[in-house]
Amino acid sequence: MRATDFRQKAWSAALIVLFFVGWEFFCLVTGMSDLVLPRPSQIIATLVTRFPVLWPHIIQTLATTMAGFVLGVALGVVLGAVIGVSRTAYDTAYPLLVGFSSIPKVALVPIFVLWFGSGTVPAVLTSLSICFFPIVVNIATGLATTEPEMEDVLKALGASKFDILWNVGLPRTMPFFFASLKVAISYAFVGAVLSETVASNRGIGNVMMTASSNFNVPLVFAGLFVLAGLGVALYAAFAIIEKRVTGWATRKNDLITT
Amino acid sequence: MMRMQPNPAFSGNPVSAHSGSTGAAIAIELSDVSVTFGRGERAVPALSRTTLRIGDGEFIALVGPSGCGKSTILRLVAGLVQPTTGVVILGGREVAAKALRIGMAFQNPTMLPWLTIEQNIMLPLKIVEPYRSQFRKLRRTTFRDKANALLEQVGLKGFARRFPWQLSGGMLQRANLCRALIHEPRMLLLDEPFGALDQFTREELWSILQELWILHQPTVVLVTHDLREAGFLGSRICVLSARPGRLLDDRRVTFARPRTVAMTFEPDFVALNQRLREFIVGERTTAAEGVI
């Protein structure tokens, strides 16, 4: 079990290294201009030398992402709980939610800018609006799929709606919730960067926009690397939390004993 | 063809609907209850004008063809369904299931996968007073001992700290019985609890349930398709007709306890089964011919 796990990870790491080596090699062989596609070594060098300048922007992007994410999760949990507990609310609200979720969120940025001016607020709002939907859907689904027999057993005991929610509904929703957090954090990140790109003078999105208009292509790619790094880090953080909290839902066959 | 006449001394005496039970206090009383689901043209009558009295500490087996409203009676008693007409009276009062903390178990054992067997079994103690207010204080001591004592009674000693997915279907069903009994309910409602189990496991669990009943003496209503199960466990058997359910037969089963599986192959028991079968099959043929 462990050995195959390790081998799997080694292959993944090898593939990543191979990808960058191949990229480097490709640029060197074809004599590719760094205005089109800079080499990874150039990008890393830019990243290191420009890091002091990039740092506040990284913080800005991270902060807007987290703010949008936290608000989105709060909103999503409340809406999801309301919708999930009552079948009627579920059926009534679902079409509106689907309608809202199918709006391309890029289209919302100009509206947020119109209302709140450019900068942090529209970034937070875009991030919120893009990440709350998967949370709502997952919480609602988790609650709505509680076994009816379980509910009957508890109701026969005289349990209140809150008792059922607290003891069965919410714990049962946790795997759905954490699965949706992983998706939502990535979405929140996309939302924040998107808004920064369109309307802000701070954040990684803005740095990349500015750099590209100055034809500072290595810096554009450096921004991209930062985004990839942040995205992976956030995803990994929530994957770890998920594993800790909801290990029971991802049980393995090796736990079966007699 | 000669029809086997059951020996009334062994295989049951009909119980008149209004005679009540052995003279003990009445635990459950359905008077002239009917239940209809839906309204207007879509209305589905599930139970029609049923009157049934169940004495305190009785073990009632409800049998009948599928969809005959057996489960509806259980749900009425548990307060999960309201009667369309008539009244349901529990322990001398109109149904207020909350106060009665009824233990229930279904075919689906519904153990919560994130809790150990022990924690699952203690779940009712988190809900029901007087245990509820002491739960934090006693969950690691008295309550855990209580859960383990029950687990030992059903042959699950040593499985308390396992998770549900580590147990077989039969073991989960034993745990399910423990969960239904942990808060010492006066009433136990069982909806085909052994329906999904193989024959041998089922027979084993009959004996376990019988022991639990003898030990704790709750009023039990057991819904089942299995006539042998009804005869083995019930102190009284009620036969319901096809939908909408009506009470076709109501008889006491007087075989001595504890009953054994071997006993279910003796002539008296077989005769009782035969008799019950005739009620259900006969009902089906008349329904098919459109004769009432």
- The 10s digit of each residue's pLDDT in B181-211 is 888 888 899 998 888 888 888 888 898 889 8
> What stretches of A50-203 show up as alpha helix (H) in DSSP?
51-85, 87-101, 109-116, 120-144, 148-156, 161-164, 170-198
Q: Is B14 buried (19+), middle (13-18) or exposed (0-12) by CB count in 10 A?
A: exposed
Distance CA B156, CA A177 (A): 34
* B123, B168, B181, B223: best to mutate for the A interface, most A CBs within 10 A: B123
Distance CA B197, CA B175 (A): 14
Contact A255 B166 (CB under 8 A): yes
Return the pLDDT at A20.
93
* Residues in chain B whose Cβ is within 8 Å of chain A: 75, 78-80, 97-106, 108, 110, 112-114, 123-124, 126-128, 163, 165-166, 179-180, 183, 189
The confidence band for B220, taking pLDDT boundaries of 50, 70 and 90, is very high
Instruction: List, for chain A, all residue ranges whose pLDDT scores fall below the cut of 70.
Output: 1-2, 247-258
Contact A156 B183 (CB under 8 A): no
Query: What distance separates the 2 farthest-apart alpha carbons in chain B?
Result: 67
The answer to whether A149 contacts chain B (CB < 8 Å) is yes
The confidence band for B18, taking pLDDT boundaries of 50, 70 and 90, is very low
CB nearest A152 (choices: B78, B124, B183): B78
- Answer with the residue of higher pLDDT: B242 or B119: B119
The answer to whether A154 contacts chain B (CB < 8 Å) is yes
What are the backbone dihedrals phi and psi of residue A64, each rounded to the nearest 5 degrees, phi first? -65, -40
Could you tell me how many CB contacts below 8 A there are between chain A and chain B?
A: 76
Q: Which of B242-246, B268-272, B281-285 is most confident?
A: B268-272
Distance CA B61, CA B254 (A): 13
Contacts of B183 in chain A (CB under 8 A): 157
Tokens standing for A181?
A: 């957090």
Q: Is B239 helix (H, G, I), strand (E, B) or coil?
A: strand
Q: Which residue of B has its CA nearest to A245?
A: B114
Q: What is the pTM of this model?
A: 0.71
3-state helix, strand, coil in chain A (%, to 5): 85, 0, 15
Contact B97 A156 (CB under 8 A): yes
Q: Is A170 helix (H, G, I), strand (E, B) or coil?
A: helix
Return the pLDDT at B19.
44
Tokens standing for B75?
A: 């749900």
Contact B110 A150 (CB under 8 A): yes
Return the pLDDT at A5.
81
Domains within chain B, CATH numbers bracketed: 8-102+185-289 (3.40.50.300)
**Shortest Cα–Cα distance, A90 to chain B (Å):** 21
DSSP B69-112: SHHHHHHHHTTSS--SEEEEEETTEE--HHHH--EEEESS----
Contact A157 B124 (CB under 8 A): yes
Quote the ipTM score.
0.78
* A157, A165, A177: best to mutate for the B interface, most B CBs within 10 A: A157
